[in-house]
Structure 1
Amino acid sequence: MFRTRTTRRLALAAGLMALLPAAAQAADALDAIRQRGKILVAIDVSHPPYGMLDGKAQETGSDVDTARLLAKDLGVGLEIVPVSGANRVPFLLSGKADIVIASFSITEERKRVVDYSKPYGVIPVVIAAPESEKIEKPEDLAGKSVAVARGTTADIELTKALKPVSGATIVRYEDEATTNTAVATGQQAILAAALSTANSVRDANPGKKLAVKITMNAYPMAVGLRKKDPELKAWVDGWVDTNLKNGKLNEIYQKYFGQSLPAEMTH
């Protein structure tokens, strides 16, 4: 009897010990970043004005400024992990990045696999075309092709909008830069993208005379996190609250988008 009880106790203890590493792993993301002395942030540096390279090949943009502010407040260095719209989530889930700050809109599809911080911005998603094109609704795109970056919210919304439209073609490119180049070089005339991207392509290519024709949706923007990192999410949520209230996140938004965040976000 004594041996049986002892054996059971040892087995129970062994089972509890086996659970400890997983529990510790779930709780240690924030501590691991602090001990490492830097945070790995996934940013798409080919997606102006969110991420881009300046004349000295240095990273800049609203996402870069946001990541720098977060790292500073956390008291660690910043390492930018370059990503595209399509591989932001895989890089996060594989551990190549601790968080995602890459014009990361909140969608129901992404919620199934990743967690989000509280929103700190908004991203309108539009369809832009030459001024001469008569496009007022998705049905007007019948027989036309539309360029979009794969895996972005623009891709999601465009797919929904054109599903019932016969003869409309979606041409997907692997990243924002390639998509924008396709429009700039005349391979594509119509673009689905975030409003800021559409405006950037318009300004860089005045001869194309692009104009926003349809606003498909407006997404809240947040920091992307792994579901197994609740302590890190709690810290980032608090950081978002603090920097919305003190105006620092609004300053970044105004700098790159020329307008303030919605009033309900800053109060």
Structure 2
Amino acid sequence: MKSKVSIMFLLFLGIIILLMGCASTEKEDNSLEEIKKKGEFVVGLDDNFPPMGFKDENGEIVGFDIDLAKEAAKRMGVNVKFKAVDWDGVLLSLKNKDIDVIWNGLTITEERQRQINFSKVYLQNRQIIVVNNNSNIKSKEDLDGKIVGVQLGSSSENALNSDEIVKSLKEIRKFSNNTEALMDLKAGRVDAVVVDEIVGRYYIEKKPGVYKVLEDDFGRESYGVGIRKEDIKFKEELDKILDEMKNDGTAKKISQKWFGEDIVAK
């Protein structure tokens, strides 16, 4: 009898501890409350990544993601602060709470998903190959023996390294940002640059007749806002707001402003 009572007591105690643990976990997730108490959330970004986020001629940070983040913060009832960070260490900056989100054309990858959480997809993209307009490179295969530029720590670098063609390249030259990579392409110091299509198209429109895009690419991808895994309530609120912005046409207007068309993921 005592044995049965002891077992039942232990089971009961276990259930209580489990419920307390769940309650404790729920209580610990006060991410949204902390943001609202602070009155702002901090966006980490590469501030030389047009048209997603970059400094204009007045030194002000502008861009597609900047406008989205500002509107989201407004609807959340807080301010937004933009902080330039080393892109190669951006995940660490998020984990260390130097920033609250990564909102800067961040590609959702399996490797990143193991480390951080993501908002719902808000934009689709692909990794394109940009060459000079007078280049004789016509396809991926023509990159054999060539020097290819990428941004260090970017999804472009990951996409290139994941392709079999990487074995035949002469060199992968890494740059701190895409602007430098495309400048070296124009100067002939690299033969091609692998870059997000959104970024590549933006630069090509700025410099007509200088660059061209190959039909081949290194894969398609989705953009999301990077969030700490433990910040579940903040993520839920941000997802809700992103949906609202898509449904009421606000995201479409911002997209048309920067790209001339609606490219927001539905």
Question: What TM-score do you get using the length of structure 1 for normalisation?
Answer: 0.84
* Distance change >3 Å, CA 140–CA 72, structure 1 → 2: same
| CA-CA distance at 1:205 after TM superposition | 4.2
The aligned runs of 1:88-127 (5 Å cut-off) are 88-127=90-129
Contact preservation (8 Å) 1:120, 1:222: yes
| CA-CA distance at 1:183 after TM superposition | 2.7
Give per-residue Cα distances to partners, 1:152-173, cap 9 Å, x unaligned: 1111111122555424421111
Contact preservation (8 Å) 1:43, 1:64: no
1:145 and 2:157 are equivalent in the alignment: no
| Identical aligned residues as a percent | 24
Give per-residue Cα distances to partners, 1:84-112, cap 9 Å, x unaligned: 43232121111111111110111111111
Give per-residue Cα distances to partners, 1:164-198, cap 9 Å, x unaligned: 54244211112233323333444223111011222
Q: Which residue is 2:211 aligned to?
A: 210
Counterpart-to-counterpart distance in 2, 1:21 and 1:180? 52
Q: Which residue is 1:4 aligned to?
A: none
1:77 and 2:55 are equivalent in the alignment: no
Q: Which residue is 1:7 aligned to?
A: none
Q: Which residue is 1:6 aligned to?
A: none
SS in 2 for 1:86: helix
| CA-CA distance at 1:131 after TM superposition | 3.1
Q: Which residue is 2:33 aligned to?
A: 31
Q: What RMSD over aligned residues (CA atoms) do the two structures have, in Å?
A: 2.6
Q: Which residue is 1:68 aligned to?
A: 70
Contact preservation (8 Å) 2:256, 2:262: yes
Q: Which residue is 1:158 aligned to?
A: 160
| CA-CA distance at 1:44 after TM superposition | 1.9
Give per-residue Cα distances to partners, 1:17-62, cap 9 Å, x unaligned: x979973774111111100111111122100011111121111000
Indicate the larger mover: 141-150 or 232-241. Answer: 232-241
SS in 1 for 2:82: strand
Indicate the larger mover: 184-193 or 47-56. Answer: 184-193
1:220 and 2:219 are equivalent in the alignment: no
* Residue identity matched to 2:102: V
* Distance change >3 Å, CA 70–CA 246, structure 1 → 2: same
1:128 and 2:130 are equivalent in the alignment: yes
Counterpart-to-counterpart distance in 2, 1:164 and 1:139? 10
SS in 2 for 1:242: helix
* Distance change >3 Å, CA 61–CA 169, structure 1 → 2: same
Counterpart-to-counterpart distance in 1, 2:128 and 2:118? 23
Counterpart-to-counterpart distance in 2, 1:129 and 1:25? 53
Contact preservation (8 Å) 1:130, 1:210: yes
* Distance change >3 Å, CA 187–CA 136, structure 1 → 2: closer
Question: What TM-score do you get using the length of structure 2 for normalisation?
Answer: 0.84
Q: Which residue is 1:258 aligned to?
A: 260
Indicate the larger mover: 78-87 or 94-103. Answer: 78-87
* Distance change >3 Å, CA 84–CA 199, structure 1 → 2: farther
* Distance change >3 Å, CA 140–CA 243, structure 1 → 2: same
Structure 2, unmatched stretches of 5+, are 1-13
Contact preservation (8 Å) 2:127, 2:218: yes
Counterpart-to-counterpart distance in 1, 2:56 and 2:23? 43
